[in-house]
Amino acid sequence: MDDLFAPKPAPAPKALSVTQLVRRMKNLLEVELGEVWVEGEVSNLKKQASGHWYFSLKDEGAQIQCAMFGARKRPGAEVMEDGVKVRAFAEPSVYEARGQLQIIVQRVERAGVGELQAKFEALKRKLQAEGLFDAARKKPLPSFPRTVGIVTSDTGAAIRDILNILERRAPWVQPVLYPVRVQGRGAEVEIARAIERMGNPERYGIPRCEVLIVGRGGGSIEDLWNFNEEIVARAIAACPVPIISAVGHEIDFTIADFVADLRAPTPSAAAELAVPDGDELRNRLALLKRRLSRRSVERIERLGIALENLRRGVLSRGGERLLREPSMRVDSARARMASAVATELRDRKQTLKELGRTLAAHHPARQVQLRLDHLARTKDQLDRAARRRLDTLEERLKRLRSLLRTLGPESAFERGFSIAMDEYGRIIRSKADVAPGDLIRTKVKDGEIRSEVR
């Protein structure tokens, strides 16, 4: 009986499995903390054949394991090396199999980019206030350019991509490359000078281009920084030729992109924007031809149907009424027409003879002979005109040759004058131009005298 009324023991608390505990920790980190920026030094970087990279980020007080999946396609992967200090945008998580805290890295950038970003924003505000980004000042691109200028490195992937696209889309276009450095100290000066010269081609002996592509392939913010310099932005703004900026990848933006007349996400896209697609143009012309042909045929058919309707309708009935009375007079006029037939036949024969003579006069063989005669006369006239022109030019050349002998330096030599030059061919105009021991050359009428100054 006592056992019936004894208190029951409290149930044991429910225990979590290790997997459940680790999973709760993982969910708590991912939900509560979310994606964060972490700064530290790369250590123990391992690049797996699968394309995933594993490494540690550390500072003076701690370190954390990191995983970067599909690393080569991640922004900033090119800066990843052991010992490099980076900023990583990552999601904290837990590796369940080991119960290990880690972060999943989405993108990285070299530490110190924050300062560059501040410089970028400051220059952007300055140039925007001056109106360099205004849409009203941007020049339209030509629809069918025949010459495209390219300001980029002559060894990078960007120039190969641009040339391949131009050759494929518009093989009639002539590319003109102005090679420059696209990264490193002083590269912005080369880029700005190239843009200025391409905008004034006659002054520098460069072919005039109808549109310019300025840019380079992808890279870190430091690699692209030359296109964020003020000197490049002002060169683009001052250039009279429309400019397409093609710097980096689609996610990269530079000051040059904002100032240029058009921004392309990549160098390849810039080439596609600069020229039309030849295949597309040919297809469009073929479509227009088919439409025009179809509409012409349809119109001819409609007009034919309308004409046939008229012939069977009003015209048919009207013609019958017009011929009714003459038909009734045929019998009474037959006698008079019989006598007129002979006269008409004679007249027709005479007309036929005249037409035969006219045909003979206008026969193609006759016309060809007339044209050949005309061509021969024209050739004789051209030969005579050419000879007269050559005689005139020969006479003028003789006068100029005589004048050159009279006024040129040879006449001065004939009169006893000479010209003194140093050993490098520079003319000596004063005794201050030479010093004792210098070798000098004196040009006279029949040669040259070499001497030494004492």
* Residue 348, C-beta contacts closer than 8 angstroms, at least 6 positions apart: none
pLDDT at 135 over 70: yes
Looking at the chain, the whole-number percentage of residues with pLDDT higher than 90 is: 33
Instruction: Give the three-state DSSP class for 376.
Output: helix
Distance of CA 355 to the CA centre of its chain: 65
Distance of CA 291 to the CA centre of its chain: 31
CA distance 130 to 113: 26
CA distance 346 to 166: 76
Would you say residue 307 lies in a domain?
no
Would you say residue 74 lies in a domain?
yes
Task: Please report which helix (H) or strand (E) contains residue 36, including its range.
Answer: strand 36-47
For residues 178 and 272, membership in a common domain is answered with yes
Are β-strands 211-216 and 243-247 bridged in parallel, bridged antiparallel, or unpaired? parallel
pLDDT in tens, 240-249: 999 999 998 8
pLDDT in tens, 345-374: 888 888 888 887 777 777 777 778 888 888
For residues 72 and 169, membership in a common domain is answered with no
pLDDT in tens, 15-30: 877 787 878 877 777 7
For residues 67 and 179, membership in a common domain is answered with no
For residues 255 and 222, membership in a common domain is answered with yes
For residues 175 and 207, membership in a common domain is answered with yes
Would you say residue 56 lies in a domain?
yes
Q: What is the mean pLDDT of residues 35-46?
A: 88
CA angle (243 as vertex; 116, 209 as ends), nearest 5? 140
Partners of 55 in beta bridges? 66
pLDDT at 316 over 70: no
For residues 162 and 258, membership in a common domain is answered with yes
CA distance 124 to 105: 30
Would you say residue 299 lies in a domain?
no
Longest CA–CA span in the chain (Å) reads: 162
For residues 76 and 133, membership in a common domain is answered with no
What local confidence, expressed as pLDDT, does residue 425 receive?
82
DSSP state of 32: I
Would you say residue 383 lies in a domain?
no
Q: What is the mean pLDDT of residues 48-76?
A: 89
Q: How confident is the model at residue 318 (pLDDT cuts 50, 70, 90)?
A: low
For residues 257 and 136, membership in a common domain is answered with yes
Would you say residue 387 lies in a domain?
no
Q: What is the mean pLDDT of residues 211-237?
A: 90
For residues 164 and 232, membership in a common domain is answered with yes
Final residue before a domain boundary, out of 223, 258, 279:
279
Would you say residue 364 lies in a domain?
no
For residues 172 and 261, membership in a common domain is answered with yes
What is the extent of the structural domain holding 46?
18-111
Number of domains into which the chain is organized: 3
For residues 61 and 104, membership in a common domain is answered with yes
What local confidence, expressed as pLDDT, does residue 443 receive?
87
For residues 71 and 95, membership in a common domain is answered with yes
Final residue before a domain boundary, out of 261, 279, 297:
279
Give the residue with greater pLDDT, 125 vs 310: 125
φ/ψ of residue 222, rounded to 5: -70, -40
Partners of 39 in beta bridges? 87
Final residue before a domain boundary, out of 242, 260, 279:
279
CATH code (residue 196): 3.40.50.261
